Amino acid sequence: MTEPLVASLERRAQSDHWVYHDGELRRYGDTHVGLLTHALHYGTGCFEGIRAYWSAQQGRLNVFRMPDHFERMRGNARMLHMELPHPVDELCALTVEILRRNAFTSDVYVRPLVYKANEEIGIRFHDLRDGFMIVTVPFGAYVDTTAGIRCQVSSWRRIEDNVAPARSKSTGIYVNSALAKTEACLNGFDEAIVLTHDGNVSEGSAENIFLLRRGCLITPPVTENIVEGITRSTLITLARDELGIEVVEREIGRSELYVADEVILCGTGAEVSPVIEIDNRAVGDRTPGRVTRQLQELYFGVCRGQDARYASWLTPVV
């Protein structure tokens, strides 16, 4: 069957991209993993998601909080009996080299993955070889950050830390996220909000959550089976230091979602996304709220290299 020209051109472009795989810089199209790869069958991997923002003004990409992402990945890998093949500074330098070679002039998503690479049957983590890759892809908005999104409280509960380490970004755990996201989308919503087994608010399918109530930002603590988000920590800093807003980390009951003045989902992919409706109830006046817009402006200013105060969060690709 002949495929559309555009699709084949895009695929050729992707196959030409530089990636890092098992110690070598190669073209995407020249690297392969085998059918029996352990992680593909058993979810025995863990990944990161990092964004690099194109600055037209500076004529370069800037990678956002890259050392923090690789530090988190190092800890997550340890939980799963894996080890990153290089120290954090070398991983950052490698990523810069890949991005430099790929010469993208738009925003990019960087996907490092460490995984059990043996091609064999048998469930375990120990006595298996670690594979490692870094792949980069041009990437725009993951969800609509302007008009706001409509969410549904999921019927799926967030994975419990004693079932599998919830904060670990291990690939297998994302079955939980995918079920919640798909349920929400098939029901006509944009995103899912997932509760813990105890019924408290945990997070989105791939985002942390903030509520604004009576001028105070509230977010679940790291013990609520969340991923310890880097965007979450960024927004906590920006809210406290730039807007002078109090941020409280505490348990959030489901019905607090329905009386919040503003709700934000945030993550590397989702960035700062205003939630305008939850379970068919308006959040505020069904438009992005004032604090949400202020945080968005600050966040994008920092990411795009327009805020010198936070330049240390950016790694330039030069």
Query: Closest CB to ligand PMP among 48 and 277?
Result: 48
In the three-class reduction of DSSP (H, G, I as helix; E, B as strand; rest coil), residue 181 is classed as: helix
Instruction: Give DSSP secondary structure letters for 210-253.
Output: EEEETTEEEE--TTSS----HHHHHHHHIIIIIH---EEE---B
Query: Closest CB to ligand PMP among 15 and 233?
Result: 233
- To the nearest whole angstrom, how small is the minimum distance from the Cβ of residue 57 to ligand PMP? 25
Q: Is 203 in the site for ligand PMP (CB under 6 A)?
A: yes
- To the nearest whole angstrom, how small is the minimum distance from the Cβ of residue 6 to ligand PMP? 30
- By CB under 6 A, what part of segment 124-183 binds ligand PMP? 177
- By CB under 6 A, what part of segment 208-267 binds ligand PMP? 208, 227, 229-232, 267
Burial class (CB in 10 A: 0-12, 13-18, 19+), 97: middle
- To the nearest whole angstrom, how small is the minimum distance from the Cβ of residue 67 to ligand PMP? 13
- To the nearest whole angstrom, how small is the minimum distance from the Cβ of residue 225 to ligand PMP? 9
Tokens of 108: 């990019």
Are 245 and 216 in contact by the 8 Å Cβ rule? The answer is yes
Length of the chain: 318
Candidates 104, 78, 89; CA nearest to 18 is 104
- 169 included as an active-site residue: yes
Residue with tokens 């200013």: 301
- Strand segments, DSSP code E, in 43-148 are 45-47, 50-55, 60-64, 108-116, 130-138
- By CB under 6 A, what part of segment 270-309 binds ligand PMP? none
- Work out which of 207, 224, 271, 277 binds ligand PMP, going by CB under 6 A: 207
Question: CA 86 to CA 91: how far, in whole Å?
Answer: 6
| Candidate list 51, 150, 169, 181, residue with the active-site label | 169
Q: Is 66 in the site for ligand PMP (CB under 6 A)?
A: no
Q: Which residues bind ligand PMP (CB under 6 A)?
A: 49, 177, 203, 206-208, 227, 229-232, 267-268
Active site residues: 169
